[in-house]
Structure 1
């Protein structure tokens, strides 16, 4: 068995690289399927994206080491660096000591006890969404879920100081901004500087979203507002030993980060979840039976969440089968040993949680949607929907709570039938459905 004291091995190179462009065409063409194919070529495999060597980490154990005991040897990498000019230096894109400081300042805002108070907000927004549905009239559920998740994060941040008009402006600007950022993260740098109509629209939407956030942050810095919202926690956060809080610029970047990350992940995951329920009526019936038993016709509360065991399994299986973060990066800060391999300094490292969650050696029959697989624990380090270690998603519990509450609220009262339109994955910044038209059907009260 290899030990880290043994002589390091050379990382194998994947076949099929082309002159000049390397494996970039294969990645662009295949996206997740290309990354899944690489998993059979070793714990770490070397590819070239253009002229740049890139190391793809496939082993769950090595990823865990990269996230935890070797975390200080890795920076965020190209994916996050490309987002920084657009998203600012928030906790998702910042690095080093500044990242650790921001994370410590923000952590109390996401304490589990505090987040339980947002269950009513999550349920209320889900009820507002479904109140606009008309039985047997098709809806674009993916659009409506993005609206819902954006408003939930915005109202959790700004509580009663956020008007309906401002919430709608945030939703529209955020949606356009996310689509524009996705293209810029993946496209060659030179293309974003061209004076095209699409680039001009993106810059205008970015300016509008930044203006809205700056106005909201400035208003809350002048007036205390609601002590129970996330913004109050961020404003009151102080660095131990210096009593320094966040500047207006830091607050702006963190609010923008929370709006984008909090809406996109939850909306994409729930879109896939309702798609799977439409394809698996047996799962839907079992889910509704649990809701009938636990809730008995009343609205879901924080106290109900521990009893919604099957509901949570449906969410977890969706996070496994359809994890939206299909490609993420790190970069070595110096030469580093990872398992039995040596990675040179300034090496780009790529990994795919989506591909890992679909690995048949970790999850038998991985493309089958089966919530019952969660009756037993998965292999160690195999299921990492929110990463782990010092870069674990701060909003993991918020997002999980939101998805369980929204699913419980919708499924208890509505059945969503799929339409004949094909639903296929689109891999941009996240892996989302191309569209999710569904037909709502009200459940008769028992």
Structure 2
């Protein structure tokens, strides 16, 4: 038995009783963020409920999150909902488990060393500048869509040195549909298998085929040429495991690239969309951001070497990820009997850990619903518990691209804000939509004004 304490375990955690068949599924589907917040307020740091036949335990304290993600991480695998993405993501880093995951992580890790990531900085700024060439003073734009397009182009260039600007709209549409299908499937009590030819399943297969065609084409061309372009694909093609000497098959390459292709642009795009939205609502933040950029950059474009001189810009990103974390929920499923917070966790139980809830907890953040980038000054991250703030997860499975994402977010934000001021379109109401990531439901319409 894998229980990690000699203290007597408590009974099952408190929580909403729910419907005899649906459990709390309907309440969770109706308002996921609100339901998790209410559970924390009403029942405390460890809460239990059911989503139909799935037993759930929610932990709402950094110490318990560390138990799950670090101390007892070998007691868990990824949760049932994420496993539903395997038809799209395959057996990539996000979904694979055990020794296979460890092998893939070893092969992929060198591509994310700081020196490799740094080489992409100028490219990120160049793609952003190309996007801004189409912006006109007084124009209303869906900023969320713009951020999706530019981050897709950046991740494609970084992953496999491909300019997909001509394909980015189709690829974004395909990814959007896949994500919506995933969210809809998680919310259903009875799920039809994907092989049944319903209109939705047919369209889903077409979307996956569209994405596959881009990735497999690039893999085939690169294998044929043997060229090393210094991108992630080149590194993965050359990588060989130190234990068995083997490399990745085309299918393994596809799965890793698909995972990074989808996750690597969706998350950063959402962060930037929320950042620009929040800046527009807080003139004092906008004023201080512009002052920093004007002082450091003047009339020139930002570079990687400027980032240490732009602490407020980086604080804007940190505060955005606190208040609107693009990854709003992590899940793990127990594969051995274990415990968390002094409560038993039977095999098959899913543990939920919500960044949305923890990042807004007044125990760890003063005035938590206020958007105040300055709160990150004086090393706040070292003064709060380690897992009070975990936008990229934690433990051995912390997001492999977190450094890339933070650099990209800061450089794109600096490139935009040095040239434009954005204001929310009159009458627009922005509502968070918790799908696989946290995005704005219906986009973020904003009016652009040249500075």
Fold shared by both chains (TM-score > 0.5): yes
Following superposition, the deviation at residue 425 of structure 1 comes to 1.1
Q: Residue 385 of structure 2 aligns with which residue?
A: 380
Name the structure 1 match of 2:360.
358
1:25 aligns with 2:30: no
1:7 aligns with 2:4: no
Deviation per CA, 1:174-229: give whole Å up to 9, x if none.
33333333333433452464644333222211111112211111111221334321
Please report how far the alpha carbon of residue 296 of structure 1 lies from its aligned counterpart in structure 2 after TM superposition. 1.9
What SS does structure 1 have at the residue aligned with 2:246? coil
1:326 CA displacement:
2.4
CA shift for structure 1 position 424: 1.2
Q: CA RMSD in A?
A: 1.7
Tell me which of 219, 235, 238 is aligned to 1:236.
238
| From 423, 432, 442, the counterpart of 2:439 | 432
The 1:163/1:380 distance shift into structure 2, 3 A limit, reads closer
Partner of 1:441: 449
Q: Give the conservation status (yes or no) of the 8 Å contact 2:52–2:189.
A: no
Q: Which whole-Å deviations, capped at 9, do the CAs of 1:407-441 have from their partners, x for residues lacking one?
A: 00000010011112111111222221122011111
Matched residue, 2:401: 395
Q: State the shift of 1:391 in Å.
A: 0.5
**Which TM-score applies when normalising by structure 2?**
0.93
Aligned to 1:312: 314
Question: CA separation in 2, counterparts of 1:86 and 1:189?
Answer: 20
Q: Which runs of 5+ in 1 are unaligned?
A: none
Matched residue of 1:410: which SS?
Answer: helix
Shift of 1:168: 4.7
8 Å CA contact 2:29–2:187 kept in 1: the answer is no
CA 1:189–1:22 in 2, change beyond 3 Å: closer, same or farther? closer
TM-score, normalised on structure 1? Answer: 0.94
Q: What secondary structure is seen at the aligned counterpart in 1 of 2:208? A: helix
Counterpart CA distance in 1 for 2:328 and 2:317 is: 17
Q: How does 1:25-424 map to 2 (within 5 A)?
A: 25-40=26-41, 41-159=43-161, 161-162=162-163, 164-188=165-189, 190-191=191-192, 193=194, 195-376=197-378, 377-378=380-381, 379-381=384-386, 382-420=388-426, 421-424=428-431
Instruction: Tell me how far 1:124 sits from its aligned partner.
Output: 0.8
Name stretches of at least 5 consecutive residues in structure 2 with no aligned partner.
Answer: none
**CA displacement 1:28-70 (0-9 Å, x = unmatched):** 1121111112223233211111133211121211111211121
Distance 2:432 2:173 in 1: 22
SS of residue matched to 2:317: helix
Q: 1 CA distance for matches of 2:189 and 2:223?
A: 39
Rounded to whole Å, the distance in 2 between the matches of 1:402 and 1:26 is 36
- Give aligned pairs, total: 440
Give 1:163 shift.
5.2
Partners of 1:343 and 1:23 lie apart in 2 by: 19
